[in-house]
Amino acid sequence: MRLILLTEQAFFEPLGQLLRAASPALEIVLARTLPELQAASTSTPLRILSVGSDVIVPASILGRLSGPAYNLHPGPPTHPGIFPSVFALYGGVPRFGVTLHEMAASVDSGPIVAVDEFAIEPTWDRLALDAATFATLQRMMARLAPQIVDVTKPLPRIAQTWGARKYTRKDFDALCQLPEDTTPEEFARRYRAVGEGPEHALTLSRFGRTFRLMSEARGPIVRGGQPT
């Protein structure tokens, strides 16, 4: 039996350890790209678990699985789509969380299996919220690992549904673009949500040029509380 962990290299070891503790005999394979996923999706029984990956699993792979594939979405059901922490902070919501759900043809739309939520501290920026989200994700995986590693049985669904608005790259790019009449309050709101580059950055267009707000700090790039 095989479980494919569709994720980044930095996340594979901490998440793989949680799954191996629940089933030492289970073969856990890392897939970072679609070609790696296709190459690993040949044995059965097989389960796919996606965590923090931008790879969209095609219907041709989902259709040949004996049961559902799962995705751990780094946000609550109210925030489907891209960069949920950014839009949660910009929207000023008091709570956040992570969502485990079945994969479907449309991203962040499949039946929901579990939701773990926590309060957002007023002092948190995006990096702090992402770190808290990853810690919550690890706790959820530790709790549900015995069910996740049993690749012969689907996880039970719960009666929660996705929010009506699915955030897109277009929404994110619009949020990053500072209007000419941006007030200090609006700048602070966007800065808290977006932060400074290199992956996220507010931009300002002037004189036919686009300027990106980049930090002078030379520290490591961090995603989900983990250096990359």
CA distance 5 to 53: 10
pLDDT, position 150: 92
pLDDT, position 199: 67
Contact (Cβ atoms closer than 8 angstroms) between residue 83 and residue 194:
no
Contact (Cβ atoms closer than 8 angstroms) between residue 210 and residue 204:
yes
| pLDDT digits (tens), the chain, 228 positions | 889 999 999 889 999 999 999 999 889 999 999 999 999 888 777 899 999 898 999 888 888 888 899 999 999 999 999 999 999 999 999 999 999 999 998 889 999 999 999 999 999 999 999 999 999 999 999 999 999 999 889 999 999 999 999 999 999 999 999 988 899 999 999 999 998 766 678 888 877 777 877 765 444 434 444 433
pLDDT, position 210: 76
pLDDT, position 106: 87
User: For the residues of 59-95, what is the DSSP string, one character each?
Assistant: HHHHTTSSS--EEEESS-TTS-BS-HHHHHHHHT-SE
pTM (whole model) above 0.85 = yes
pLDDT, position 215: 63
pLDDT, position 96: 98
Q: Judging by DSSP bridges, how do beta strands 2-6 and 27-31 pair with one another?
A: parallel
Which domains, and CATH codes, for the chain? 2-148 (3.40.50.170), 169-227 (no CATH)
Q: Judging by DSSP bridges, how do beta strands 203-206 and 46-51 pair with one another?
A: unpaired
pLDDT, position 212: 77
pLDDT, position 107: 87
Contact (Cβ atoms closer than 8 angstroms) between residue 19 and residue 51:
no
Contact (Cβ atoms closer than 8 angstroms) between residue 225 and residue 129:
no
CA angle centred on 138, ends 69 and 225, rounded to 5°:
115
